[in-house]
Amino acid sequence: MHWLHLAIAVIFEITVAIAAGKAEGFTNRRWTIATLLSGAIATYFLSKALLTFDVGVGYALWTSVAGIGITVLGALLFGQRLNWRKALGIAVVIAGVVGLQLSGVA
């Protein structure tokens, strides 16, 4: 169940980033509300996942997987450039996440 909680937290963290980008410095009320609500939901599910994961490992997994998701969605949905350096960075993050997983995380 902790993996499901972490996955939900990641999805809502990605939503936070997208909504914050559209909130125009919190001047757009609808996107501001979406940002804050998504952040609250992401934090709630992260806290549920952290009942099983070590805090450092769980937080690292959450931020890194969300960061990858945001980068990929930015390229797919918003025309942001995904060059070889970004792809290399994503590969390094994935290697780090795999390393954390191999360290014996629940």
Q: What is the 3-state secondary structure (H, E, C) of 30-42?
A: HHHHHHHHHHHHH
In tens, the pLDDT along 44-75 reads: 999 999 999 888 888 989 999 999 999 999 99
What is the DSSP-derived secondary structure letter of residue 52? T
The single residue listed with the structure tokens 């450092």 is 56
Per-residue pLDDT tens digits for 82-100 = 999 999 999 999 998 888 8
Whole-prediction pTM value? Answer: 0.87
What is the number of domains present in the chain? 1
Query: Residue 106: which pLDDT band, with cuts at 50, 70 and 90?
Result: low
Residues 6 or more apart from 50 whose CB is under 8 A from it? 58, 59
- Structural domain of residue 10, as residue ranges? 2-102
Residue type, 98: V
Average pLDDT in the chain: 92
